[in-house]
Amino acid sequence: MIDSHCHLDDPHFSKDLEHILLRAQQSGVQHFIIPGVQHGQWSAQQALAAQYPNISNAFGIHPWYCNQHDDLHFEQLEKLLPHAIAVGECGLDFMPNRPAHHIQTACFQKQIELAIQFDLPLIIHSVKSADQVTAQLRLQPQIRGVIHGFSGSLQQAKTFIKLGFYIGIGTRLLQHQGQRSNALLHELSLDSILLETDAPDGLGKQQRNEPANLLDVAQRLATIRGIPLESVQQQCTKNTKELFSL
């Protein structure tokens, strides 16, 4: 399996990364995609990819940090993108106390344009912003990517799929064992799903998440759909390879 979204460059992993990678391997997770969140972490990501051949990088600016970036950072980002498998994670987060909406929108728009320029997929973070994200994506019919950590409705998921996007399903769904998420996991077409952990996040504030938990996500998906675990693993790995040209 491939963890399509894990922040292995996060300081929470600096002390025991070897261990984390070993446990992941024992759970059948062989490859890791690290999305970028802000310029201060880009060099740490590069160092990891240089050390481990099974780590691939995306570079981008997360909506939480978009007000800490100026034109120079965008120039730096542009230089990194030839070494990236995607642009992101970028997008819109309209929870309270986030950067102003117009700043987020501009930062997202620039990254959409970079994705087109470099012919790369987008890794999108969308919270309380599905309509606004959809509106920006609709203007660029050639764009493709993944809506990571999806937590919206089945209808919203279908809209994103129609726009050429995969739906990132992660450990958060293990915590919401509600009817709505079960219906979503049951109805979504398997060839539109990518598996992710979003480690070290994704299990609430108290607990550090890690890529080994991807197996639990795949298992829950298989149980809800009533299909073998291997079918979920194979199809989602294929989807991830296709999207990121791995």
- Sites of contact with Zn ion (CB under 5 A): 198
| Identity of residue 155 | Q
Tokens representing 11?
A: 């300081």
φ, ψ for residue 122, nearest 5 deg: -105, 140
3 or 192: whose CB is closer to Zn ion?
3
CA distance 146 to 50: 25
Minimum CB–partner distance for residue 143 and Zn ion (Å): 19
- As measured in angstroms, the least distance from the Cβ of 230 to Zn ion is 27
How many CB atoms neighbour CB 182 within 10 A?
14
CB of 75 to Zn ion, least distance (A): 24
Minimum CB–partner distance for residue 95 and Zn ion (Å)? 15
Pick between residue 148 and residue 222 the one whose CB is nearest to Zn ion.
148
Q: Which is nearer to Zn ion, 144 or 172 (CB)?
A: 172
Amino acid symbol at 122: L
- Minimum distance between the CB of residue 125 and Zn ion, rounded to whole angstroms? 6
User: What's the closest the beta carbon of residue 7 comes to Zn ion, in angstroms?
Assistant: 6
Beta-carbon neighbour count of residue 242 at 10 Å? Answer: 14
Nearer to Zn ion, 3 or 198 (CB): 198
- Considering the complex, state which of residue 9 and residue 198 has its C-beta at the smaller distance from Zn ion: 198
Residue least distant from Zn ion (Cβ): 198
Residue 226 has φ and ψ, to the nearest 5°, of 65, 40
Beta strand segments in the chain, E: 2-3, 31-34, 55-59, 86-93, 122-127, 145-148, 165-169, 193-195
Give whichever of 1 and 60 is closer to Zn ion, judged by the CB atom: 60
Neighbours of 203 (CB within 10 A): 19
Identify any residues that bridge with 103 across adjacent strands, giving them in sequence order: none
Do residues 43 and 59 lie in contact, with contact meaning Cβ atoms separated by under 8 Å? Answer: no
